[in-house]
Amino acid sequence: MSPKPLPLDIYGRARQLRLFSLSRPHMLSFHISWLSFFAAFTCWFALNPLLKSTIAPDIGLTARQVSSTDVANVGSTIFFRLVVGVLTDKFGPRMSMAFILGLGPIPLLCVGFVKNVAQLAIARTFVGLLGAAFVPCQYWTTAFFSESVVGTANAVAGGWGNMGGGATFLLMPNIFNGFVSAGLTKHQAWRVALLVPAAFCWVCALICIFVAPNRPAAALPQTQQHRDESNATVVHYEMPATAASTAPTGTSEINRSNLSLDTKPHDDSPADKSKPDRAVSAYTLRNMSSYLRALLSPPVLILMLHYACSFGVELSVDSVIGSYLQTHFGLGQTLAGNIGSIFGLMNLFSRATGGILSDVMQRRFGMRGRILIQLILLVLNGVCLILFSFTGNLASAVVALVFFSFFTESACGSTFGVVPYVAKTGMGMASGLVGAGGTAGGALFNVLFHHYVDTPEIGFRIMGAIVIGAGLSSFMLTVGGHGLLTRRP
């Protein structure tokens, strides 16, 4: 007995999410999107588990020099996300993802030929292209799922893709050990090991090109489509990919500001053919104006801070957790990688949990509930980060790691439970800015750890204090007249 087909809306988008289905095109696209992002994330951080004990001594680099390349690895992603956003708008998520997965591993493999810190920094700057895979991943799921489930789809796809940051800590040391056991020297083994995540990316790129659908087919019957066309009623849906790079996760809302209904009859007269350039110019000006208004909006600025202190924390911890465990607790490379993988693998459920908590609090307390869960998750996250920095034995460190992993990733989901409500128009612009805040936060926290490279526990304490401060800023967050200290009458 074949499974029931997914119910669709009038735009061909699925109104259900069936995680254990591979039905075309919706669930197949969903699974390819998160798997591709997972491959990109695995490759993006593939060097980190091996840097301290293997790569740095082999090349002759100090811990401070290695730390400076972590900044390049994360910081460059801000630029690459903008570029990939444009490409995704033009070519769609399927080819954009294939482009990232095809090119991103090349600079990673070039690391095998570097001789000094400058060359390593340049290579890792271009490896940052892989971090832009979040853009087509979220664009893809947003295009294939209706507003009733798109929040859950985005949350699960984003969270499962982020698990690649944990998987690479689990896989790379063991792959390296396997090649050493096979007879390669350490000098050879770490270079050959990089071929594994690169090959994973290339396989996923081929799947994107030859298997994955790019967009859903229209759900309307063909006769109905012709009837609509004859009446000259056209529905336009445009989602800027730069905004889709951080499409809302953990909420059932979708960007309606880009949904328009044009009921004017079409006129193919020559006069009308001179209008596209003016229309494009007007659209560009409107976009720039929307970005400026969103950037100057206090709620957007606060949510940018919140995402910097959730997703930004995640990126920076992915960069330093392996070396921290080796230095602070005297662990070997493999054991440190196995324990460090906990942080990323918690994304299996943590990010989606944050979105679900935000939705539950909304139903119970309204918008104040969403803001309250922001406050709780961020403050608890900051407290656990500080406690982690004071742990003196491995057992307590692992417990603290599990807790701050959960709160960090849940705060990512809950943040995007608030984003759709901060702007009645231009929600996509607000989403893009909040997402940029997360990547910028990751770069800044990496700078912090670079400064405290010899005493990283101080870096964790300062980061924890900043996260607590960001959580307390929730008292200043007002959305639609509702806040923790204010309520619309």
Give residue 291's pLDDT.
Answer: 60
Overall residue count recorded for the chain in this entry: 489
DSSP for 76-88? HHHHHHHHHHHHH
Three-state DSSP class for 478?
Answer: strand
**Tokens 């004017």 belong to residue:** 264
| Mean pLDDT, residues 341-359 | 92
DSSP 348: G
Query: SS3 string of 267-325?
Result: CCCCCHHHCHHHHHHHHHHHHHHHHHHHHCCHHHHHHHHHHHCCHHHHHHHHHHHHHHH
Statement: residue 252 has pLDDT above 50: no
- Report residue 147's pLDDT band, with 50, 70 and 90 as the boundaries: confident
Residue 19 belongs to what H/E stretch?
A: none
DSSP per residue over 386-439, as a string? HHHHH--SHHHHHHHHHHHHHHHHHHHHHHHHHGGGS-SS-HHHHHHHHHHHHH
304 burial level (CB within 10 Å; 0-12, 13-18, 19+): buried
CATH architecture of 26-215+296-483: Up-down Bundle (1.20)
Whether the pLDDT of residue 426 is over 90: the answer is no
pLDDT at site 272: 47
pLDDT for 281: 54
Q: With 80 as the cut, is the pLDDT of residue 443 above it?
A: yes
Is residue 82 very low, low, confident or very high in pLDDT (cuts 50, 70, 90)?
confident
Residue 82 token pair:
């903008």
Summarised one tens digit per residue, pLDDT across range 26-67 is: 999 999 999 999 999 999 999 999 999 999 999 999 999 999
Tokens (6 digits) for 266: 């079409």
- The strand pairing partners of 479, in sequence order, are 482
Torsion sign over Cα 432, 438, 440, 443 = negative
> What is the pLDDT at residue 142?
82
Instruction: Please count the other Cβ atoms lying within 10 Å of the Cβ belonging to residue 289.
Output: 12
120-136 pLDDT, tens digit per residue, is: 999 999 999 999 998 89
Q: What is the DSSP-derived secondary structure letter of residue 216?
A: P
Residue 248's pLDDT is what?
Answer: 40
Q: Please tell me which of 83-97, 115-129, 268-282, 358-372 the model is most confident about, judged by mean pLDDT.
A: 115-129
CA distances from 141 to 26, 65, 119, 306, 352 (A): 8, 39, 37, 24, 15
> By three-state DSSP, how is residue 60 classified?
coil
Distance CA 357, CA 265 (A): 46
Strand partners, 348: none
The pLDDT assigned to 251 comes to: 39
Q: Is the pLDDT of residue 430 over 80?
A: no
For 301-322, the pLDDT digits (tens) are 999 999 999 999 999 999 999 9
For Cα atoms 30, 32, 38, give the angle at the middle one, nearest 5 degrees. Answer: 105
Task: Residue 337: name the closest of 354, 352, 323 by CA.
Answer: 323
